[in-house]
Structure formats: C-alpha cells, structure tokens
Amino acid sequence: MLINCAVYQEGKKLCDIPVEAISDYVQRSDCFVWVALHDAEPAELALMQREFGLHELAVEDAHRGQQRPKIEEYGDSLFAVAHVLELVDGELKVGELAVFVGENYILSVRNRSRQGFLGVRTRCEREPHLLKQGPAFVLYALMDEVVDRYFPLIETLESELETIEEQIFAKGSERANIEHLYQLKRKVMQLKHAVTPLMEAIGKLHGGRVPALCVNTQEYFRDVYDHLYRINTTIDTIRDAIGTVIQVNLSLVAIDESEVNKRLAAWAAIFAVATAFAGIWGMNFKAMPELDWKYGYPVAVLIMGSVCGYLYHRFRKAGWL
C-alpha cells in the first residue's frame, strides 16, 4: 500500500507525484523523491524497481522479509533493514523496515508493523536546513526513530524484571516466577537480535570507509550508534540479572525440597523406632523376657511413645519439623 510519494527540493516539499512520474524526477539532480510503502505487494515492489532502478537482490530481500538487520551497498545505492518492535498484549511483535537509498531517492517499505513513520516525515519537513542534505538525512531520521522506540521497550522489560524480583521470595510462586523469567528472557533475546546487528551495520556509516551517500551525515549516524550501544549494554545487564534471578529461584526451590526431605526423614526416623520396638517384642519366643508380664504391653507402649516423643523434640529443636 502506498502511503506517500513526494518530491523535495532544497529541503522543502515540492509536490506529491504519481508513482509513474518517479523516474522523471529521479533523473533530476536538484531534487529527490521520498516514497513510503506499507506491506507492499510483489507488483508494487516490481513497479518501484523499474522506477528507481533498484537492485534485484535488494528487492528480493524486501519481498521475502525475515531479514537480519543490515546495511548493504549496491553500487551507488544502499539497502538497509531494521526490526520494528512493539509490545502487543504482553508479547513482543517483530516487524521490519526496509529502506532503499540512492543519490536522488529514498524508498521505505514497512512490513508486519502497525507503527507508522509519518512523524519522521513531519520532523524532516520542519528542518529544511537538514533535509536539504538529501536522502542520507532521511535514512538517519528513519533509523533514529526505530532506535528511539527501543528505549520504552527497555524500560518495560526492566519493570517486568523488578516485579518478578519483588515476588521471588513469596511462598508458592517459584513455578510462576520461572515461567515469567523465561518469557522475559525470550523478549530480551528478540530485542538483542534487533539491536546488535543494527549496531554493527550503523557502525559502517561513520568513521573509516563511509559510503559516498553518507559522507556528510556521519555525525548523525554516530549518534544513532551511541544510542544502540547504550541499549545493547542495558540488554546485557538485563540478561545477566535474569540469569541471576533464575539461579536464585532454582536455589529457593532446592531449599524447599531440602526442607521437605528433612521432614520426611524425621518422621521416618520416628516411626522406624516404633517399628523396631514392635518388631522386637513381637517375635514371640517362649523364653523372651517380660513375655508373660502383665504390665509388658503398657510399658512397651510407654517406652515407644517416650522415645518417639524425644526424637520429635530433638527434630523440632534442630528445625527439621
């Protein structure tokens, strides 16, 4: 679906144009074309390929989706992919933003995401002195918006972890805590898979050998890289904290199991004593002492009760019961 198709000159919007007129404006050196698509159909991508002269491998990646975040060079053009993440009913949904950048054009294709980028266009149009730098600045603005949307996700994940940490010592919550921790760990890994490759890709756009399109915007991409670095560091911290909480939770489970085992062992010892006395006095040998004594039974019961009571007292004192 086509969202916008407009021409910009000297940092200002010149006009909206039909798709069929794109190739005419792309040939001009004094302006550039900015097109935005949402869940583009193969026919739409094929049309854009003809109008912009896009590389077939980049178009294939945009059509297939499920790409690793990256920035690739195709001659004088760039092809960038970033993951667009959003929380929906507690689940982290992964969308994709593919961007084609040339000297006189930029084409963005958003797939499987409800989050639009109209705010980026509005921001760029408010800053004509920056927008006149051309498509490279628009690429920066899009990447910056994608990365800025990661920060609220980080805060949400940190809040979830803090909530679990507050509940970790509550009795009977061990299983629920483990389930929540592994769900949280999965979300963190999804965010990690979006951030780390993108950080490596953005690193190619500042310092060292920089594509000609981005020579004048290196400092902007360095700012995006710094944000990604901060996010990546926070993700690693959250991952380590999750690992620690999981170990603590498993230790609490082991402690509870140990307590149960001690109780079972204590009761087994108490009943073992009674069983031993009963077994000895129940052998019924003729010459057995006190066999015909009329007080034998109550004395036997008293001895067994006393020994069992003594063991119960000792186990209680030791904290086993």
Nearest to 212 by CA among 56, 102, 106: 102
| pLDDT tens, residue by residue, 222-268 | 999 999 999 999 999 999 999 988 888 888 777 677 767 777 777 77
To the nearest 10 degrees (0 to 180), the angle between helices 218-281 and 174-202 is 160
- Classify residue 248: in a domain, yes or no: no
* Contact by Cβ (8 Å): 211, 134: no
Q: Which of 132, 155, 179 is the last residue of a domain?
A: 132
- Classify residue 265: in a domain, yes or no: yes
> d(Cα 125, Cα 144) in Å, to the nearest integer?
16
Pairing between β-strand 91-102 and β-strand 105-111 as defined by DSSP bridges: antiparallel
- Classify residue 251: in a domain, yes or no: no
- Classify residue 58: in a domain, yes or no: yes
Query: Which tokens go with 313?
Result: 């007292």
| pLDDT tens, residue by residue, 89-146 | 888 899 999 999 999 999 999 998 888 898 999 999 999 999 999 999 999 999 999 9
Query: Which tokens go with 39?
Result: 């869940």
Q: Which of 98, 132, 166 is the last residue of a domain?
A: 132
Would you state the pLDDT for residue 165?
86
Nearest to 80 by CA among 142, 122, 125, 7: 142
Give me the torsion for CA of 34, 125, 215, 5, rounded to 10°. Answer: 0
Number of domains in the chain: 2
Residue 216: pLDDT over 80 = yes
**CATH code of the domain in which 271 resides:** 1.20.58.340
The secondary structure element, H or E, covering residue 129 is helix 128-131
Number of H helices, E strands in the chain: 10, 7
Instruction: Read off the pLDDT of each residue in 1-5 and give the average, rounded to a whole number.
Output: 87
* Contact by Cβ (8 Å): 119, 3: no
* Contact by Cβ (8 Å): 51, 25: no
Edge-to-edge, what's the strand order for the sheet holding 70-74? 12-16, 2-9, 32-38, 105-111, 91-102, 77-88, 70-74
**CATH code of the domain in which 47 resides:** 3.30.460.20
Would you state the pLDDT for residue 173?
76
| Partner residues linked to 78 by β-bridges | 73, 101
* Contact by Cβ (8 Å): 245, 181: yes
* Structural domain span for residue 264: 259-318
Q: Which of 82, 98, 132 is the last residue of a domain?
A: 132
Q: Report angle CA 147, 150, 153 to the nearest 5 degrees.
A: 175
On average, the pLDDT of the chain sits at 86
- Classify residue 82: in a domain, yes or no: yes
As a residue count, the chain comes to 321
User: What phi, psi does 32 have (nearest 5°)?
Assistant: -140, 155
- Classify residue 313: in a domain, yes or no: yes
Would you state the pLDDT for residue 36?
94
- Does this model's pTM top 0.85? My answer is no
| pLDDT tens, residue by residue, 5-23 | 999 999 999 999 999 889 8
| Partner residues linked to 233 by β-bridges | none
Would you state the pLDDT for residue 171?
78
